[in-house]
Amino acid sequence: MTLIMTPGAARSFEGKVAVVTGGAAGIGLATCRRLATAGASVVIADIDDEAGRAVADELGDQPGGVSFHRADVSAETDVAELFAHIRGDHGRLDIAINNAGTPGTFGPIAELSYDDWKRTLDVNLGGVFLCMKAEIPLILESGGGSIVNLSSGAGTRGFALLPAYVASKHGVIGLTRSAALEHATNGLRINAVCPGMIRTAMLEEFSGSEDALDRMGRAAPMGRLGVPDEIAEAVTWLCSESASYVTGLALAVDGGVVAG
């Protein structure tokens, strides 16, 4: 599925600086493309050097410029270096998309090791916390802006055999709402997006087969999987002035799953 940005939305982020964690693939990559096309200066943060540099090269001719900085969002020193880089190179930050994540280990709670539990929480929830801790002061210095955290449909309901992932994504929504209330009056809007089953490399690896992917798609009320561009569209809308009265929202983009 191809989504087309309308002419009125084009270049709507000119002069803005954005960071996208997990920006080298999937939803993060689609979001980088939309922000860059709309005029933002985009910093891609990812643990995959090769993919991150390839995306920066692909989008390098966009007016605002696109760069890559390697960072593991679960490592406090990496996060500190990332935002020191943004401050040094750009002097400001207007938009932050906290998208980096891991599916964690599939299996029952009684068989999940504490190390696996901690790793999933450290990336999916700890990474959002560490990034927001650095993003908030920088965005406020710039006069305000927007943060969007990627939760999941698994942040709105339970799923058997994914305990750490589900717990982490519920936590992202709680953290988003708390932070949104802290900053509701100072020009910083903080929201979450909760994707349903979106066709990404992560989902393909998790599902293991085309048949499984097909079953996942048919299970949604709309009868299909989503695509990364559909999530990127929601994310960039939340970052835009069109969403100027929206904060603390956990927006489900899931083909109707939450409604069922």
- Which residues 6+ apart lie within 8 Å of 254 measured at CB? 153, 194, 195, 196, 197, 220, 226
Q: What whole-number distance in Å separates Cα of residue 148 and Cα of residue 118?
A: 23
Quote the tokens at residue 128. Answer: 């959002």
Quote the tokens at residue 125. Answer: 């929830």
8 A C-beta contact, residue 2 and residue 229: yes
Helix 76-90 to helix 127-141 angle (10° resolution) is: 20
Residue tagged 């932070």 (tokens): 179
User: Which residues are known catalytic residues?
Assistant: 165
Amino acid making up residue 174: G
CB atoms within 10 A of CB 175: 19
Using left for φ > 0, alpha for ψ between -120 and 50, and beta otherwise, residue 43 falls in: beta
- Would you state the torsion angle of the CA atoms of residues 251, 183, 33, 69, taken in this order, to the nearest 10 degrees? -130
